[in-house]
Amino acid sequence: MRVVIQRVSEASVKIDNKTKDKINSGLLIFLGIEESDTEEDIYWLCGKIVRLRIFNDKNRVMNLSVKEIEGDVMLISQFTLHASTKKGNRPSYIKAAKPNIAIPLYEKFIKHLEMGLGKPVQTGKFGAMMDVSLVNDGPVTIIIDSRNRE
């Protein structure tokens, strides 16, 4: 699993020109799922996200987690995070999990993230064409891949 995490002051997602969800200060997370991903990837990655200290403390040092600031979280599925651009100019998405594998993992990811945060996670819609808007706070953007564990 691969995530792109952005610290935001606000974010929203629209589907068919209608706002599905929006958040204030917190994290906007784009999630890509590979065919080989498992529930172990979910547990590790959700734990890392919940504890990731990228919010400022009173001294303006990134020392607080989204849970500690009681921030909002929005999760958006994005298979293009597993694009391979090794050959040619047209990306290949062969590593991205097919919906029959990805959807159950995506739903488990949401549930596990909500358990870790102790609050609901806002989402887009798996497989839908979405318009995502955000105001990146910082800017702060972190990329984590459960294969690398770094």
Model pTM score: 0.94
Give me the residue label for tokens 């990329």: 143
Going by DSSP bridges, is the β-strand pair 131-145/72-77 parallel, antiparallel, or unpaired?
unpaired
Residues annotated as catalytic (active site), given as ranges:
80
Q: What are phi and psi of 7, to 5 degrees?
A: -80, 125
Strands of the chain (E only): list them: 2-15, 18-23, 26-32, 53-56, 62-65, 72-77, 122-123, 131-145
23-61 tens-digit pLDDT: 999 999 999 999 999 999 999 999 999 999 999 999 999
Multiple choice CATH, 2-145, 3.30.70.20, 3.40.50.620, 3.50.80.10, 3.30.43.10: 3.50.80.10
d(CA 12, CA 92): 28
With cut-offs at 50, 70 and 90, classify the pLDDT of residue 88: confident
**Is residue 141 pLDDT above 90, yes or no?**
yes
